Amino acid sequence: MTGDFKNFLSLSIVALVSYLAADILKGQPIYDQLLHRMLSKDADYGTTEETRSHKVLLESDVYIGCPMDGEKIEEMLLPPGCLVVSVQRDKREIVPSGSTILQGGDKLILLCSQSFVKVVEEKLNNICKSIRQ
């Protein structure tokens, strides 16, 4: 099949007909349709509308020499409802657990309740953005 053009004409005709049919019928691209369907469903995943609408993503850097440099995530002692969802390290993304050890230069992405934003930002400034004396 490689280097053989005997199926090229039939493949071109099928591609052209499907393109024209989608264009004439004013069809949306399939992935746009699937995304719209997925977002329009009432998928609550065990949370209420009030709880979902009050979640915030925060970003923080882990400075080299800060109190969390070389420590486990579980030692951050974050408030309830706050979760470290991603650690970006050397152009890689790590899905962390409590036993993940942080390193200077990491970038953390946290999910927390809007009511805890100021507390979490203050805590992150103290443990991730300050240098040990």
pLDDT per residue as tens, the chain (133 positions): 567 788 888 999 999 998 898 889 888 788 887 777 777 655 554 556 565 557 889 999 999 999 999 999 999 988 888 999 999 999 899 999 999 999 999 999 999 988 888 889 999 999 999 887 7
Q: Which residues on adjacent β-strands are paired with residue 107? A: 61, 88
pLDDT score for 40 = 67
Residue 45 confidence (pLDDT): 47
Sequence-separated (6 or more) residues with CB below 8 Å from residue 71: 101, 102
pLDDT at 13: 94
* Strand stretches in the chain, DSSP E: 55-61, 83-89, 92-94, 107-113
pLDDT value of residue 132: 77
pLDDT score at 3: 72
Please give the pLDDT value at position 46.
Answer: 52
